[in-house]
């Protein structure tokens, strides 16, 4: 069984500081649309002229997705509940519905000019319910089963706006499910975590997974976004409006890497729709190579706080970027068969290998073996005599500083360093330079 993990405001989802849109007595539809700063920041109208995610299914592994929300009608497939029976379109917590709206919300009203619009409004959502209430525990086995179901039911992108918490490790079932998705050409996107820590949480930290941090409307890192080695991209995740049928007005305002993850999944859906011949790894390659550090001058990709940069959906669709390798710049987890094959060579050889080695050693001439043993004994005797002689000549003799040093003195412990040592200066501490990141980040594959 996988290790249980708590669905909390700091570990899994972005509900910390969740606010109703209560600056007006009743949040009007126009007001909701006006609050979606991401649409203006990305000038999405120009991008939607190229594609809106048609023909791509995004699996949302979460608390379920309420397909009856007016901004999601017709976009949500039947899906499956993995919580012990129920309906994948029942969303008690409201989180999965919010993520789906950021990916494929289409608005409502005349000309769909009101309500929530996601970055890929014509993509389909496959709801996979692995959580119910906000404080539910869940196991890796649960979401791992959902990931496999997503792969087997046509999803081309899997959104995991969840995280195991600081220091947690993904169980074998989870790792194998991610590997299964990668082996079947599916883009897997996961949240880096909302702990404000210096480690990217799993499963986002697993090889080949697009791990996502959060930035605000100025492109500066959100203070609770996890950072560290393995961070892939950052995306808008501060004061994000999303659909929520559990609220009286149908919407909520949240901050977190969950929202940022949904936006990256939507960008992946756009790329998959426009370039259906690209592999999952090549889609990731386009997302990475089109990203920008914006005004954060002097960062080197991949950066511990910004990864390869802020996603730019339009550039991901329009830039002249070579396809690159099929596996993409992040590589892939080994499949279960590869893992077993690897373990066979790591001290657990199979019978045929052991037999060959035993057969080879048994053919060595007996005289050579005996001679080798004798030589070892002679050399050992000489070394013993020399060491004994040196020990007797040392100042004070044995027991007064000569001989073997005490435990630990032969190794220097790693010094304690300040949390931010080696990191770029936090946003706001350096001059702002409006120079988009134009240089291709290194180590991205060819």
Q: What is the DSSP string of 159-198?
A: EE-----TT----HHHHHHHHHHHHTT-EEEEE--SS--S
Catalytic residue flag (residue 258): yes
Peptide bond into 285 cis (omega under 30): no
Catalytic residue flag (residue 62): yes
From first to last of its 446 residues, the chain has per-residue pLDDT tens of 333 333 333 333 333 223 333 333 344 446 899 999 999 999 999 999 999 999 999 999 999 999 999 999 999 999 999 998 789 999 999 999 999 999 999 999 998 999 999 999 999 999 999 998 877 766 799 999 999 999 999 999 999 998 877 778 999 999 999 999 999 999 999 999 999 999 999 999 999 999 999 999 999 999 999 999 999 999 999 999 999 989 999 999 999 999 999 999 999 999 999 999 999 999 999 999 999 999 999 999 999 999 999 999 999 999 999 999 999 999 999 986 554 444 343 333 333 333 333 333 333 333 333 344 444 444 444 444 434 333 333 333 333 333 323 323 222 222 222 333 222 333 333 334 333 323 333 333 32
Catalytic residue, from 63, 71, 91, 95: name it: 95
Q: Over the range 122-142, which residues count as b (16 or more CB within 10 Å of their CB) and which as e?
A: bbbbbbbbbbbebebebbbbb
pLDDT value of position 149: 98
Residues 241 and 40: beta-carbon distance below 8 Å: no
Catalytic residue, from 168, 225, 258, 290: name it: 258
CA distance 85 to 237: 32
Q: How many CB atoms lie within 10 A of CB 41?
A: 13
Residues 315 and 436: beta-carbon distance below 8 Å: no
CA distance 193 to 209: 14
pLDDT value of position 167: 74
CA distance 191 to 332: 18
| Angle at alpha carbon of residue 13, lines to 74 and 192, rounded to 5° | 105
Give the helix/strand (H/E) hosting 107.
strand 106-108
pLDDT value of position 337: 54
């Amino acid at each position: 069984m996988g290790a249980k993990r708590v669905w909390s405001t700091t570990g899994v989802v972005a509900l910390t500081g969740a606010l109703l849109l209560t600056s007006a007595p009743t949040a009007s539809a126009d007001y909701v649309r006006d609050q979606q700063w991401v649409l203006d920041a990305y000038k999405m109208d120009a991008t939607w002229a190229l594609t809106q995610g048609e023909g791509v299914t995004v699996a949302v592994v979460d608390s379920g997705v309420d397909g009856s929300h007016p901004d999601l009608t017709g976009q949500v497939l039947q899906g499956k509940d993995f919580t012990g029976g129920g309906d994948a379109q029942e969303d008690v917590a409201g989180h999965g519905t919010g993520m789906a709206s950021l990916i494929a919300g289409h608005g409502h009203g005349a000309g769909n000019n009101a309500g929530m619009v996601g970055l890929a409004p014509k993509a389909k959502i496959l709801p996979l319910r692995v959580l119910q209430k906000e404080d539910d525990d869940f196991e890796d086995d649960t979401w791992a089963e959902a990931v496999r179901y997503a792969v087997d039911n046509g999803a081309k992108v899997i959104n995991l706006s969840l995280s195991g918490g600081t220091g947690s490790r993904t169980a074998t079932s989870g790792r194998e499910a991610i590997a299964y998705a990668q082996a079947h050409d599916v883009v897997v996107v996961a949240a880096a975590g909302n702990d404000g820590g210096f480690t990217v949480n799993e499963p986002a930290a697993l090889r080949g997974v697009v791990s996502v941090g959060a930035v605000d409307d100025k492109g500066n890192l959100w203070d609770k976004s996890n950072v560290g080695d393995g961070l892939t991209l950052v995306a808008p995740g501060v004061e994000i409006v999303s659909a929520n049928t559990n609220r009286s007005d149908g919407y909520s305002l949240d901050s977190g890497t969950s929202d940022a993850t949904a936006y990256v999944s939507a960008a992946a859906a756009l790329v998959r729709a426009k370039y259906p011949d690209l592999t999952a790894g090549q889609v990731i390659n386009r997302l990475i190579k089109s990203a920008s550090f914006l005004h954060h001058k002097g960062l080197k990709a991949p950066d511990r706080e910004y990864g390869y940069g802020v996603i730019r959906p339009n550039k991901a669709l329009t830039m002249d970027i070579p396809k690159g390798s099929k596996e993409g710049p992040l590589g892939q987890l080994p499949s279960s068969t590869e893992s077993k094959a690897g373990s066979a060579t790591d001290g657990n050889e199979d019978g045929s290998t052991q037999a060959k080695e035993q057969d080879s050693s048994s053919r060595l001439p007996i005289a050579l073996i005996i001679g080798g043993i004798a030589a070892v004994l002679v050399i050992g005797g000489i070394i013993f005599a020399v060491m004994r002689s040196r020990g007797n000549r040392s100042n004070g003799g044995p027991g007064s500083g000569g001989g073997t040093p005490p435990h630990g003195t032969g190794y220097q412990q790693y010094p304690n360093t300040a949390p931010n040592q080696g990191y770029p200066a936090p946003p706001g501490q350096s001059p702002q330079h409006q120079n988009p990141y134009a240089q291709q980040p290194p180590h991205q594959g060819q």
